[in-house]
Amino acid sequence: MKWSSLLPSNLNPILAFRQLFDVDHNIATHALRDIFIFLMLGISFLFALMVLWQTIISWVKTNNYLKITKGGAQASGAVLDSKLPLFLELKHHLIEFPSRDGESRMLKRRTVDGSEIFKESILGPGFCSSRLFLAIPSILTGLGVLGTFVGLQLGIGGLDSKSYLSLTKACPEVSICPPPLL
Protein backbone atom coordinates (compact mmCIF):
# COMPACT_ATOMS: atom_id res chain seq x y z
CA MET A 1 0.00 0.00 0.00
CA LYS A 2 1.21 3.47 -0.83
CA TRP A 3 0.93 5.41 2.44
CA SER A 4 1.58 8.64 0.58
CA SER A 5 -1.80 8.21 -1.11
CA LEU A 6 -3.45 8.90 2.26
CA LEU A 7 -2.15 12.48 2.09
CA PRO A 8 -3.27 15.11 -0.41
CA SER A 9 -1.03 15.57 -3.45
CA ASN A 10 -1.09 19.34 -2.91
CA LEU A 11 -1.97 21.41 0.14
CA ASN A 12 -4.22 23.87 -1.69
CA PRO A 13 -7.90 22.86 -1.55
CA ILE A 14 -8.88 25.58 -4.05
CA LEU A 15 -6.45 24.17 -6.61
CA ALA A 16 -7.82 20.67 -5.95
CA PHE A 17 -11.36 21.92 -6.58
CA ARG A 18 -10.28 23.51 -9.89
CA GLN A 19 -8.51 20.30 -10.94
CA LEU A 20 -11.68 18.33 -10.25
CA PHE A 21 -13.07 19.56 -13.60
CA ASP A 22 -9.87 18.90 -15.56
CA VAL A 23 -10.14 17.02 -18.85
CA ASP A 24 -7.41 14.57 -17.84
CA HIS A 25 -9.04 11.75 -15.88
CA ASN A 26 -5.99 11.11 -13.65
CA ILE A 27 -5.79 14.74 -12.52
CA ALA A 28 -9.52 14.82 -11.77
CA THR A 29 -9.25 11.55 -9.81
CA HIS A 30 -6.39 12.91 -7.70
CA ALA A 31 -8.34 16.11 -7.14
CA LEU A 32 -11.35 14.12 -5.90
CA ARG A 33 -9.09 12.22 -3.51
CA ASP A 34 -7.55 15.48 -2.27
CA ILE A 35 -10.96 17.09 -1.72
CA PHE A 36 -12.16 14.05 0.23
CA ILE A 37 -9.01 14.11 2.40
CA PHE A 38 -9.42 17.85 3.07
CA LEU A 39 -13.07 17.26 3.96
CA MET A 40 -12.20 14.45 6.41
CA LEU A 41 -9.42 16.48 8.02
CA GLY A 42 -11.68 19.52 8.36
CA ILE A 43 -14.53 17.58 9.93
CA SER A 44 -12.14 15.78 12.29
CA PHE A 45 -10.58 19.08 13.33
CA LEU A 46 -14.02 20.64 13.90
CA PHE A 47 -15.19 17.72 16.06
CA ALA A 48 -11.91 17.74 18.01
CA LEU A 49 -12.30 21.46 18.74
CA MET A 50 -15.92 20.96 19.79
CA VAL A 51 -15.04 18.13 22.18
CA LEU A 52 -12.09 20.09 23.58
CA TRP A 53 -14.27 23.17 24.16
CA GLN A 54 -16.98 21.15 25.92
CA THR A 55 -14.34 19.39 28.03
CA ILE A 56 -12.85 22.70 29.17
CA ILE A 57 -16.28 24.11 30.05
CA SER A 58 -17.20 20.99 32.03
CA TRP A 59 -13.82 20.95 33.77
CA VAL A 60 -14.18 24.60 34.85
CA LYS A 61 -17.72 24.01 36.17
CA THR A 62 -16.73 20.84 38.01
CA ASN A 63 -13.49 22.34 39.35
CA ASN A 64 -15.43 25.06 41.24
CA TYR A 65 -17.22 22.33 43.18
CA LEU A 66 -14.11 20.20 43.70
CA LYS A 67 -12.19 23.09 45.27
CA ILE A 68 -14.79 23.39 48.00
CA THR A 69 -15.17 19.66 48.68
CA LYS A 70 -11.44 18.92 49.11
CA GLY A 71 -11.38 20.45 52.58
CA GLY A 72 -12.12 17.22 54.48
CA ALA A 73 -14.14 17.74 57.67
CA GLN A 74 -14.25 21.52 57.13
CA ALA A 75 -15.74 20.97 53.69
CA SER A 76 -19.25 20.33 55.03
CA GLY A 77 -19.41 23.84 56.45
CA ALA A 78 -17.99 25.28 53.23
CA VAL A 79 -20.58 23.38 51.20
CA LEU A 80 -23.43 24.77 53.29
CA ASP A 81 -22.05 28.32 53.11
CA SER A 82 -21.37 28.17 49.36
CA LYS A 83 -23.48 30.11 46.88
CA LEU A 84 -22.89 27.68 44.01
CA PRO A 85 -26.24 26.59 42.51
CA LEU A 86 -25.85 22.84 43.05
CA PHE A 87 -24.82 23.32 46.68
CA LEU A 88 -27.84 25.58 47.21
CA GLU A 89 -30.06 22.81 45.84
CA LEU A 90 -28.30 20.29 48.07
CA LYS A 91 -28.92 22.53 51.09
CA HIS A 92 -32.60 22.58 50.16
CA HIS A 93 -32.75 18.77 50.38
CA LEU A 94 -31.01 18.46 53.77
CA ILE A 95 -32.92 17.75 56.94
CA GLU A 96 -31.65 18.20 60.48
CA PHE A 97 -32.46 15.88 63.35
CA PRO A 98 -30.99 15.38 66.81
CA SER A 99 -28.35 12.71 67.39
CA ARG A 100 -29.56 9.49 69.00
CA ASP A 101 -26.45 8.97 71.10
CA GLY A 102 -27.61 11.40 73.81
CA GLU A 103 -25.36 14.24 72.74
CA SER A 104 -26.90 17.56 71.90
CA ARG A 105 -25.59 17.77 68.36
CA MET A 106 -27.67 17.94 65.20
CA LEU A 107 -27.09 15.60 62.27
CA LYS A 108 -27.83 16.44 58.65
CA ARG A 109 -29.00 13.95 56.06
CA ARG A 110 -30.09 14.40 52.48
CA THR A 111 -33.55 13.37 51.38
CA VAL A 112 -32.71 12.62 47.74
CA ASP A 113 -29.98 10.71 45.98
CA GLY A 114 -26.85 12.71 45.08
CA SER A 115 -27.29 11.86 41.39
CA GLU A 116 -30.55 13.83 41.39
CA ILE A 117 -28.69 16.99 42.39
CA PHE A 118 -25.33 16.60 40.64
CA LYS A 119 -26.60 15.74 37.16
CA GLU A 120 -24.51 15.30 34.04
CA SER A 121 -26.78 17.74 32.25
CA ILE A 122 -25.74 20.49 34.68
CA LEU A 123 -22.03 19.72 35.09
CA GLY A 124 -21.38 18.76 31.45
CA PRO A 125 -24.28 20.13 29.42
CA GLY A 126 -22.50 20.01 26.07
CA PHE A 127 -21.89 16.29 26.20
CA CYS A 128 -25.34 15.00 27.04
CA SER A 129 -27.64 17.59 25.48
CA SER A 130 -25.92 18.49 22.20
CA ARG A 131 -27.72 16.86 19.29
CA LEU A 132 -24.65 17.34 17.10
CA PHE A 133 -22.48 15.54 19.65
CA LEU A 134 -24.97 12.67 19.77
CA ALA A 135 -25.01 12.49 15.96
CA ILE A 136 -21.22 12.11 15.58
CA PRO A 137 -21.34 8.27 15.24
CA SER A 138 -23.93 8.51 12.46
CA ILE A 139 -21.99 11.25 10.69
CA LEU A 140 -18.77 9.24 10.82
CA THR A 141 -20.55 6.13 9.53
CA GLY A 142 -21.96 8.11 6.61
CA LEU A 143 -18.54 9.55 5.84
CA GLY A 144 -17.09 6.03 5.94
CA VAL A 145 -19.63 4.83 3.37
CA LEU A 146 -18.89 7.89 1.24
CA GLY A 147 -15.17 7.16 1.57
CA THR A 148 -15.76 3.61 0.37
CA PHE A 149 -17.37 4.83 -2.83
CA VAL A 150 -14.68 7.49 -3.35
CA GLY A 151 -12.08 4.72 -2.96
CA LEU A 152 -13.90 2.55 -5.47
CA GLN A 153 -14.04 5.44 -7.91
CA LEU A 154 -10.33 6.10 -7.43
CA GLY A 155 -9.42 2.44 -7.88
CA ILE A 156 -11.68 1.51 -10.76
CA GLY A 157 -11.75 4.91 -12.44
CA GLY A 158 -8.14 4.62 -13.61
CA LEU A 159 -8.68 1.37 -15.51
CA ASP A 160 -8.90 1.50 -19.27
CA SER A 161 -11.65 -1.01 -19.96
CA LYS A 162 -11.50 -0.58 -23.75
CA SER A 163 -8.39 -2.66 -24.23
CA TYR A 164 -7.86 -6.22 -23.05
CA LEU A 165 -4.08 -5.79 -22.90
CA SER A 166 -4.28 -2.70 -20.73
CA LEU A 167 -6.54 -4.56 -18.25
CA THR A 168 -4.16 -7.50 -18.01
CA LYS A 169 -1.22 -5.13 -17.42
CA ALA A 170 -3.13 -3.12 -14.80
CA CYS A 171 -4.25 -6.21 -12.85
CA PRO A 172 -1.79 -9.06 -13.54
CA GLU A 173 -2.92 -11.09 -10.49
CA VAL A 174 -6.56 -11.12 -11.61
CA SER A 175 -7.56 -13.75 -14.12
CA ILE A 176 -9.37 -12.01 -16.97
CA CYS A 177 -11.01 -14.13 -19.62
CA PRO A 178 -9.80 -13.35 -23.09
CA PRO A 179 -12.23 -11.66 -25.42
CA PRO A 180 -14.26 -13.99 -27.63
CA LEU A 181 -12.87 -14.62 -31.09
CA LEU A 182 -14.97 -13.30 -33.89
Asked whether the beta carbons of 26 and 158 are under 8 A apart, the reply is yes
State the amino acid at position 111 in one-letter form: T
pLDDT at position 2 is 65
Closest CA to 85 of 123, 112, 55: 123
Residues of the chain with pLDDT under 70: 1-6, 72-73, 121, 123-129, 157-182
Measuring CA to CA, how many Å separate 154 from each of 2, 14, 50, 55? 14, 20, 32, 38
How buried is 34 (Cβ within 10 angstroms: 0-12 exposed, 13-18 middle, 19+ buried)?
buried
Measuring CA to CA, how many Å separate 82 from each of 24, 92, 123? 70, 13, 17
